[in-house]
Amino acid sequence: MYNSMPATAAAARARAALYRSLRASLEARGSLEVETPIAVPFAGQEPHLRPFETRFTPDLPIPPGGIESPRRLHLHTSPEYAMKRLLAREGFGKCHQIARVFRDGEISRTHNPEFTLLEFYAAPGSADSIMRDLEELIQEAAQNLNGNTQASRQKRRLELKAPFERLTCQEAFERFAGFDPLPLDADALSQAARTVGIRPAADANWDDLFTLLLMEKVEPCLGIDRPTYLTHYPASQAALARLSTNDPRVAERFELYAGGLELANGFSELCDAQEQRQRLSEEQELRRSLHRDVFPLDEKFLEALPRIREAGGVAVGLDRLLMLLTGAQTIADVLLFPAVVEYGAARR
C-alpha cells in the first residue's frame, strides 16, 4: 500500500469550486440537477464490479402490496439506470447528478471504494454531442479554478482547451501497438500481443486480450499533452452503448484520458430494450462464470428504454478530475476521509 494523508482544506475548497463550476455550466446548457436513490434493489450487471450489500427491514407491518420485508439492497455503483428512467419522463430531457457511488474492493492510487461521479444525459443526444459538452465543461472548470486552461500531471503540463484529441480504438492500436485488433480472432490477437512483448494468460479470450493490450500499450500514451477521447470500442465492449450504424464491429462508446488518468466513460445510449435485455443476460452468465453474485434484471429500466428513443450520456470521475486540476498525485490527496487512511492501511 502507498503512503498518503487526507486532503487539506485547500483541496476541499477546490472541490467546492469545481462543483460550482460544473453546476453553473450544466444549468446554462439547460440541464436539470436530480437526485436518485443510493440504495437500490437491482445492482448493475457489469461483470467486474462488486457492489456493497445492505438490507431494508421495516419497523412496522407492511400492508399487502407494499415493500417485501426484509429486502436485499445494494449501494449503487452508478446512478445510470435510474437516470435513464428519468430521461423517459416528461421534462427530464437534459439532467445531471453529482452522486456518491460505491464499488467494493477498489482501492489504489486512483481508486477509492466510495467516490463521486458526475453523470449527465441529453435526449436527444449522442456520444458526439456529449463529448463536445464535456470538453467545454472541463475547460470552463479549469478556467474557474486556476484562471487558465493549464493543468499539471506527473510533472507534465497539459492544455485543457477544447476541442480535445479524438482517436478511435482502431487508430490508437495502430499508432501505439502497431496493428488493428478488429479483424483478428483470439488466436491471432494473442500472437500479435506476443510480438509487442505482452504475455497473455493461456486461457485469455478476445476481450481479455484487448483489455490487456489497451492497458499496457495504449492507455499510457493517451492524453499526454492534452486530453484524448478514445472512441469506437469493439462491439463486444459496448456495455450500454448502441452499435455504430456505419460499422457494426464497433460501438458509439468513448472514454476520456488525461495525464495518465481515465476520467470519463460515455455512450450514445442503447435504447433498444430487446437488445439491452440480451446484453444484460449475457453479462449475468459472465458473472456466473466468474463466480460473482448474479442479480435480477431491472425491469423498470428495460421498460423505460423505448420511450427515450435517442440519447447520449457520460459518467465523469470527479475525484480524478480534481486530481488533474489541482496537480494531486493520489486520490487520497483530494478526499477528506480516504479509505487508505480510514481503513488503517496507510503507512505513516
Strand partners for 53: 74
- Distance of alpha carbon 149 from alpha carbon 344, whole angstroms: 37
More confident residue, 280 or 44: 280
Query: What pLDDT, on a 0 to 100 scale, did the predictor assign at position 69?
Result: 64
Bridge partner list, 166: 229
**Alpha helix (H) residue ranges in 36-126:** 80-87
Please tell me which residue, 5 or 334, carries the higher pLDDT value: 334
In tens, the pLDDT along 249-289 reads 999 999 999 988 999 999 999 999 999 999 999 999 999 99
Q: Which residue has the higher pLDDT, 64 or 85?
A: 85
What pLDDT does residue 64 have?
A: 66
CATH code of domain 9-38+79-164+226-342:
3.30.930.10
Q: Name the band, by pLDDT with cuts 50, 70 and 90, for residue 97.
A: very high
Lowest-pLDDT range of 10-19, 39-48, 56-65, 162-171:
56-65
26-47 burial code (b ≥16 CB/10 A, e <16): beeeebeebebebebbbbbbbb
| pLDDT for position 348 | 38
pLDDT at 34 over 90: yes
85 vs 81: CA distance, rounded Å: 6
Q: Give which of 115, 95, 82, 80 is closest to 23, Cα–Cα.
A: 95
Strand 312-317 relative to strand 114-122, pairing = antiparallel
Distance between CA atoms of residues 242 and 252, nearest Å:
6
**What span, in angstroms and rounded, lies between the C-alpha atoms of 260 and 215?**
11
**Statement: residue 346 has pLDDT above 50:** no
Residue with cell 434484471: 297
pLDDT of residue 67: 62
Output the CA–CA distances (angstroms, integers) from residue 85 to 80, 93, 94, 104, 303, in the order listed: 9, 11, 12, 25, 9
Tell me what percent of the residues of the chain surpass a pLDDT of 70: 94
- Kindly list the strands in the beta sheet with 312-317, ordered across the sheet, starting from the edge strand earlier in the chain: 32-33, 94-102, 114-122, 312-317, 261-268, 253-258, 228-231, 165-168
> What was the pLDDT predicted at 151?
93
Phi-psi region of 166 (alpha: psi -120 to 50; beta: other; left: phi over 0): beta
Q: What are phi and psi of 121, to 5 degrees?
A: -135, 150
What is the rounded average pLDDT for all residues in the chain?
93
Provide the residue ranges of all domains of the chain, joining segments of one domain with +: 9-38+79-164+226-342
Q: Cell numbers for 142, please give them.
A: 479549469
**Cβ proximity of 77 and 101 under 8 Å:** yes
Instruction: Give the pLDDT score at 314.
Output: 98
The pLDDT of residue 155 is 82
Query: pLDDT at position 347, please?
Result: 42
Q: List Cβ<8 Å contacts ≥24 apart for 292-299.
A: 292/47, 292/50, 293/43, 293/50, 295/42, 295/43, 295/44, 295/45, 295/74, 296/42, 297/42, 297/45, 298/42, 298/81
The secondary structure of the chain in percent helix, strand, coil, rounded to multiples of 5, reads 35, 20, 40
pTM of full prediction above 0.75:
yes
SS3 state of residue 182: coil
Strands 32-33 and 94-102: parallel
Answer yes or no: is pLDDT of 122 > 50.
yes
Sheet holding 71-75, edge to edge: 39-40, 71-75, 53-56
| Cβ proximity of 181 and 234 under 8 Å | yes
Let me know: does 188 contact 194? Beta carbons within 8 Å: no
Q: Comparing 7-11, 86-90, 121-125, 244-248, which segment has the lowest mean pLDDT?
A: 7-11
Record the cell numbers describing residue 99, joined without a space: 452522486
pLDDT attached to residue 1: 46
Residue 100 CA to residue 83 CA, distance in Å, equals 14
Q: Mean of the pLDDT values across residues 68-77? A: 85
**Cβ–Cβ under 8 Å, residues 305 and 244:** no
For the chain, how big is the Rg over CA atoms in Å?
A: 21
Q: Which residues pair with 118 in a beta bridge?
A: 98, 316
Spatial distance between the Cα atoms of 127 and 133, rounded to a whole number of angstroms: 10
Angle 305-311-312 from CA coordinates, rounded to 5°: 125
pLDDT of the residue at 307 = 96
